[in-house]
Amino acid sequence: MSKRIFIWVAHPRKGSLCEAMADAYQQGAEQKGEEIRRMDLCEMQFDANQSGDYADTPTELEADLRQWQENLQWAEHIMVIHPYWWGSMPAQAKAVLDRALLPGVGFKYHGKGLGWDKLLSGRKADVIITSDTPPLLDRLLYRRPGRRVLTNQVLGFCGVKTRKVWQFGSVKTAKPQTIERWLLKTQQLGASV
């Protein structure tokens, strides 16, 4: 039986390495017979400004944000691919989380106290990060801030269990054959879901 996989390419620019990695991952998953839905941040149309708090959030979101929510809820497996900019994902990608990952979609606070329900429980996720910072340096010097936020305080908060995080870098100094190896590895990851 095929798995339902939502691939979110959280890079604001068309033609990025993240896009190529998503293509490779998708190809691997489709060859295995998985059902894929995909959204590329660079094609999404929405207002990145979050005004007010969650209580003031309008019930009517832009079509792309509603589609993103539907894909997230439909998926059994989520793949997030993003670049590492200033220790995290790009601001426009974070805006999708701020605007669309709302109470009732990813979580639901209890009426009183600090408790909440994790509405995306039972799902798994993979994360691919591209960076100019070499992964070893990111681990030793910075302690991987971006991956901790995404896996613990975003996905984990909503009940999504992160299977694996891969960080490919340094992109800036990578030779073409290195990038080809990364793309092959990404295709193998897609086939392993």
CATH code for position 129: 3.40.50.360
In whole angstroms, what separates CA 98 from the centre of its chain? 13
The whole model's pTM is what? 0.93
Q: What is the pLDDT of residues 34-91, one digit of tens each?
A: 999 999 999 999 999 876 666 555 557 999 999 999 999 999 999 999 999 998 999 9
Give the per-residue pLDDT at 59: 59
Q: Which range marks the domain in which residue 156 is found?
A: 4-51+58-191
d(CA 30, CA 179): 21
Total domains in the chain come to: 1
**Residues contacting residue 37 through CB under 8 Å, at least 6 positions apart:** 4, 5, 6, 7, 71, 74, 75
Query: Can you tell me the mean pLDDT for 101-108?
Result: 95
**Could you count the other beta carbons within 10 Å of the beta carbon of residue 133?**
19
